[in-house]
Amino acid sequence: MSRIPLVEKNDASVEVNKVYNELEKQGFSILNVFKMFANNDRLLKGFKEIVLALYQDSKLEARYRELAYLRASQLNSCHY
């Protein structure tokens, strides 16, 4: 159970639902990190822009991005 409430689509404001819909149109699932940031709609919008910038015009193939995530998690002793 998270300490920060997660904003589900049913309970989200109009602004947050707009962002959720934009993310889904781009092929993203609404992950818990998005739901957490949705507690502040401006933060969620900013995070969406970062995510889209990283994924839409990425020069790195998805498989190599995933390897980078896994390696960074290993180096930082994070569970991923």
> Whole-model pTM?
0.74
**Which of 13-17, 20-24, 60-64, 73-77 is predicted with the least confidence, judged by mean pLDDT?**
60-64
Terminal CA-CA length for the chain: 17
pLDDT, one tens digit per residue, over 21-33 is 999 998 899 999 9
pLDDT, one tens digit per residue, over 7-58 is 999 999 999 999 999 999 988 999 999 999 999 999 999 999 998 888 887 7
Identity of the residue numbered 15:
E
What's the Cα-to-Cα distance from 37 to each of 49, 57, 67, 72, rounded to whole Å?
Answer: 13, 23, 25, 22
